[in-house]
Amino acid sequence: MQAKRSSGSAVAAAPAPAKATTESALSLAKTPALFCVELSNVFRLRLNEIALLRLQRGLLRFIFPDELKTVGSIPVSSSSAVAAHTALTKKTELFNNFVKVQHARIFETVKLNSEEPVEQAQKITIQKLMSAPILDPERKVLGVIQVCRKGYDLKSCGADFTHDDLQLLEASARTASKMPFMNDAS
């Protein structure tokens, strides 16, 4: 398993202007969908490579993408879900060889909006993933942001995520923690 876990303190910071611009743009996105559109622009990802989950009564529930809102939720106690591990440890995680990581694959089977034909979309899997907890000022978990690169294999999905990318995701999680949709239990 190729995994790098970070508590945030040992990772080099992304350039300040990039983080400030990102935080400013994200703070203007008032819905989960708009926030994730902005996040996809920041990381140059497709929308189907972004997930935003909110913690409610011990369950991580998808608030983006829409297709996963009604499919189910992830118990924080799950030993096989990366999002649950991120919430429990309150640490960011980076996997540049995610296909080798043991994880719950149930949500990967859901057809998301995609430009690829159905038969091709079914062969595309998560190859690389970053996961960050969304914490309130008291370090209580509000949810989790995950971004990934999907492809047929490691070569087709694009570049590895970097430590700068991880720092940018942490900054995005801090911005998300201030958004009403992360604190709204409705």
Average pLDDT over the chain, rounded to an integer: 82
pLDDT tier for residue 186 given thresholds of 50, 70 and 90 = very low
User: Which residue in 43, 2, 72 sits closest to 171, CA to CA?
Assistant: 43
Pick from 32-36, 81-85, 120-124: least confident: 120-124
Query: Given this model, what pLDDT does residue 113 score?
Result: 60
Alpha carbons 113 and 125: distance in angstroms, whole number: 14
160-173 tens-digit pLDDT: 999 999 999 999 99
Residue 159, pLDDT above cutoff 50: yes
Using a 10 angstrom Cβ sphere, with 0-12 exposed, 13-18 middle and 19 or more buried, the burial of residue 140 is: exposed
- pTM of this prediction? 0.81
83-117 tens-digit pLDDT: 999 999 999 999 999 887 765 554 454 455 655 54
14-35 tens-digit pLDDT: 444 566 677 788 888 899 999 9
Query: Given this model, what pLDDT does residue 11 score?
Result: 39
- Token output for 32: 């989960």
12 three-class SS: coil
Alpha carbons 106 and 54: distance in angstroms, whole number: 18
* Bridge partners, residue 132, by sequence: 145
Better-predicted residue by pLDDT, 99 or 123 = 99
- Residue 49 in contact with residue 149, Cβ under 8 Å? yes
Q: Which domains does the chain have, with CATH numbers?
A: 4-183 (3.30.450.40)
